[in-house]
Amino acid sequence: MKRSLTFGTLESRIYTIFTVMIFSAIFVMQLVAFRYTVDTVRTTTIDNNRVVLQQLVKQIDSYITGMEQISDAVSVDPEIQKFLGSDSPFEDEGLSPGIQRTINNYIQAREDISDILIMRMDRSTLTSHTDDRINPWTAIQDKDWFYRAVEEAGQTIVSSSYVQNIIWGRYSWVVSLSRGIKSLEDGALKGVLLVDLKFNRIRELCESLVIGQKGYNFILDDRGNYVFHPTQQLVYSDIRVEPLGPITELFQEGGTWYQEEDRYYMVESSDITDWHVVSVVYESDIITEWKSLQLIYTLIGLILFLIVGMATNKVSSGITKPVRRLQDIMQSVETGEFRLVGEIKATDEIRALAREYDIMVTRIRELMEANVREQEQKRKSDLKALQAQINPHFLYNTLDSIIWMGEMKQSEKVVQMTSALSKLFRISISKGRELIPIHQELEHVKSYLTIQEMRYQDKFLYDIHMDPDLLDLTILKITLQPLVENAIYHGIKEADHQGMITITGTLEENVVTLEVRDNGVGMDSGQLANLIAGLQSSPEERSRMNRQGLGVRNVHERIRLYFGGEYGLVCRSAPGEGTSITVRFPACSGEVLQ
């Protein structure tokens, strides 16, 4: 008889509810995954840009340091020292040509030097060329670089960018290095040396290391004035405006980056020049394929929804089909045809109902046998449920780490972590067996520790000492891993020193004793009492407790269900001394429950 799918039926309700729930879950997961991908790409790009920005600062510092070395060489040149120490005027034909040749030699050695000038304290100036004339409208003593060089005699002063107008008819954008020249004999200040650097070299350095098609770099001095900007004329004429206020707060307060609209500003400061190099990255350069990314996530969501929809339809049909069959058989009672249900493929509840119906029609003994089978099945279900309560966040975090390593091109680490994860789950499955050899359990926990070592790096070490006689004995699978996880997350992770996890095993009087010990923060008496109370509580009481220590309680309960109440876990801990959890179970070499 063909049945119509109406909302009043159990099948339609199951299908509708599951479809709505799964669609909502997939939609939320898609949003979270998309946002996570965007945030990850953004963070990675910003981090990479910071490395590039640091490299740019080093190149600028190296360049300025090289110029300072030239100014040092000029200031101690014997001829210049002799010239500044004399009272002869700059026009003396016997002195100035030799000095000008010396200065020209320095200029010819570096293409990025615009000019070198020497000024006595009486403001008279010697240029690098005999035909250069000093601009009469230039008051050298009022220049910022001049009086700072006089005030900080012997120290190199790096200026902001400006138009140099000392030489008549020559107006160039330069960055100047100035310093007071002291006499090598008595240390007295004799004059000021000015080295003008061509602005093009600063531009080349700033434009050589940018991220994206729209990105650019600019430089501010310690007073917030522009040293360089790719659109220098526009910023000086206020046609283009940068958010100097928030940027100044960044290098004053030690911030990392600042976002305004679709731009990200990052600052790195130089201790040599007191300059602050600002890198600008556009949002559109960080994620270049927004539409493609959205389309991919949408397609994945639709495919998942279709697959899960078909699976939900099959599951709901599988649940309700036995119910309809049972209903048809029970309706046969009205006609006096007492048909038996017999074997039926369905859930435990429906099979139990069918068995009860058959027992009502036939014999009370079958009811008792069915009850025994039901209790046995319940015991197995309880054990399976306890084992299934392993925290899934470990898997999520491991997969996130693999994705991160893949994005960072760390292929060897990706292979290593993926291999460890594969071994971890292969041993967890164990072809459906509940008991496995202890050496396989050790491989399982080693794979887990390998993954955690790669995730936390240098946070902890581990050591395993196991009696060789134990390796071929059997143990409940996934016994040690929850205890090691507890040691890492609640002991070592919170410690301010490198942790150590020690796993030991002994065999005494046909009883296996395994111990997982850490040197983490430990627990105070109240925390230890709560953990022990959780181990000793009934299943109903444990269901009302919080999830902290859930893995330890599940291991304890599984051991008790398999081997009896005299076995299980023993916990010891003290603040600052770490925690020790001992596992006790009988020595055996085969499955206890089939």
Q: pLDDT grade, residue 161 (50/70/90)?
A: confident
pLDDT for position 1: 40
Two tokens, residue 514: 């395994």
Q: In Å, how far are 8, 309, 389, 442 from 570, measured between CA atoms? A: 53, 47, 21, 20
Residue 506: what pLDDT?
A: 93
Give pLDDT, residue 365. Answer: 46
Q: Yes or no: say if 501 and 569 are a contact pair by the CB < 8 Å rule.
A: no
Q: What is the pLDDT at residue 450? A: 87
pLDDT value, residue 593: 41
Final residue belonging to a domain, choices 228, 260, 288: 288
**CA distances for 350 relative to 153, 315, 317, 341, 347, angstroms:** 96, 14, 14, 11, 5
Alpha-carbon gap, residue 181 to 196, rounded angstroms: 16
Rounded to whole angstroms, the Cα distance separating 113 from 256 reads 34
Say if residue 515's pLDDT is above 90: yes
479: left (phi over 0), alpha (psi -120 to 50) or beta: alpha
Average pLDDT taken over every residue of the chain: 77
- pLDDT for the residue 343: 64
Return the CATH number at 173. 3.30.450.20
CA distance 561 to 200: 80
Is 90 within 8 Å of 126 (Cβ atoms)?
yes
- Check pLDDT > 90 for residue 570: yes
pLDDT in tens, 32-53: 776 777 777 777 777 777 888 8
Range(s) of the domain holding residue 223 = 1-288
The candidate with the shortest Cα–Cα distance to 323, out of 41, 78, 3, is: 3
Residue 370 lies in a domain: no
In a domain, 183, yes or no: yes
> Does the pLDDT at position 303 exceed 80?
yes
DSSP assignments along 381-443, one per residue: HHHHHHHTT--THHHHHHHHHHHHHHHTT-HHHHHHHHHHHHHHHHHHHGGG-SEEEHHHHHH
Give the residue from 264, 288, 312 where a domain finishes: 288
Q: For residues 253-273, give the mean pLDDT.
A: 79
How do 460-466 and 474-476 pair as beta strands?
A: unpaired
Residue 182 bridge partners (DSSP):
189
User: Could you say which DSSP state residue 332 is in?
Assistant: G
Q: What is the pLDDT of residues 441-494, one digit of tens each?
A: 899 888 888 888 888 887 889 999 999 989 999 998 888 988 998 888 888 988
Structure tokens at 17: 């509810």
Give CA–CA dist 80/282, Å, rounded: 51
pLDDT tens for each residue of 527-553: 888 888 888 876 656 555 555 667 788
The beta-strand segments (E) located in 213-353 are: 216-220, 226-228, 257-260, 263-269, 276-282
Q: Mean pLDDT across the stretch 97-123?
A: 76
Q: Which residue has the higher pLDDT, 432 or 56?
A: 56
Region 147-170: what's the mean pLDDT? 78
The region of weakest confidence among 146-160, 360-374, 467-481 is 360-374
Closest CA to 441 of 468, 478, 466, 473: 478
Is the sign of the CA dihedral 497, 503, 509, 510 positive or negative? Answer: positive
For residues 21 and 27, is the Cβ–Cβ distance under 8 A? no
CA distance readout (Å), 338 to 332, 334, 361:
6, 9, 7
Q: Which of 317, 389, 406 is closest to 547 using CA atoms?
A: 389
Degrees, nearest 5: CA angle 137-138-144? 150
- End-to-end Cα spacing for the chain: 40
Q: pLDDT band at 592, cuts 50/70/90?
A: very low
Q: Are strands 568-574 and 276-282 parallel, antiparallel or unpaired?
A: unpaired
Helices (H) and strands (E) in the chain, counts: 18, 17
Does residue 345 form part of some domain? no
Average confidence (pLDDT) over 60-72:
81
For residue 305, being part of any structural domain is answered with: no
> From CA 178, how far away is CA 181, in angstroms rounded?
10
Which has the minimum average pLDDT: 184-188, 221-225, 258-262, 355-359?
A: 355-359
* Number of domains the chain contains: 2
pLDDT exceeds cutoff 60 at 380: no
What CA–CA distances, in Å, run from 304 to 93, 298, 312, 426, 554? 91, 10, 12, 25, 33
Which of 66, 153, 168, 167 lies closest to 113 in space, CA to CA? 66
Q: Please identify, among 258, 288, 318, the residue that sits at the C-terminal boundary of a domain.
A: 288
Whether 388 maps to a domain, the answer reads no
How remote is the C-alpha of 502 from its chain's centroid?
28
Mean pLDDT of 150-156: 78
CATH number at residue 476: 3.30.565.10
Would you state the pLDDT for residue 144?
A: 79
549 and 403 share one domain: yes
Q: 500: which 2 tokens?
A: 């150590």
Least confident window among 114-118, 379-383, 455-459: 379-383
Task: Look at residue 462 and tell me if it is in a domain.
Answer: yes
pLDDT band at 372 (very low <50, low <70, confident <90, very high): low
Q: What is the pLDDT of residue 89?
A: 64
Lowest-pLDDT range of 91-105, 361-375, 533-547: 361-375
- Rounded to whole angstroms, the Cα distance separating 34 from 370 reads 51
User: CA 279, 284, 285, 291: dihedral to nearest 10 degrees?
Assistant: 160
Least confident interval from 95-104, 436-445, 524-533, 583-592: 95-104
516 contacts 483 by C-beta, under 8 angstroms: yes
For the chain, the residue count is 594
Task: Quote the pLDDT of residue 238.
Answer: 77
Residues 161 and 197: their CA atoms lie apart, in Å, by 10
| Highest mean pLDDT of the ranges 4-18, 69-83, 331-345, 357-371 | 69-83
pLDDT for the residue numbered 502: 95
- Dist CA 361 CA 368 (whole Å): 14
Q: Tell me which residue of 456, 584, 447 sits closest to 510, measured CA to CA.
A: 584
pLDDT band at 387 (very low <50, low <70, confident <90, very high): low
Q: Which residue has the tokens 């069959």?
A: 325
Residue 594 pLDDT class (50, 70, 90 cuts) = very low
Instruction: At 25, list the tokens.
Output: 């879950």
pLDDT interval class at 505 (50, 70, 90): very high
State what percent of residues in the chain have pLDDT above 70: 74
Residue 132 lies in a domain: yes
Q: Residue holding tokens 């319940």?
A: 378
In a domain, 223, yes or no: yes
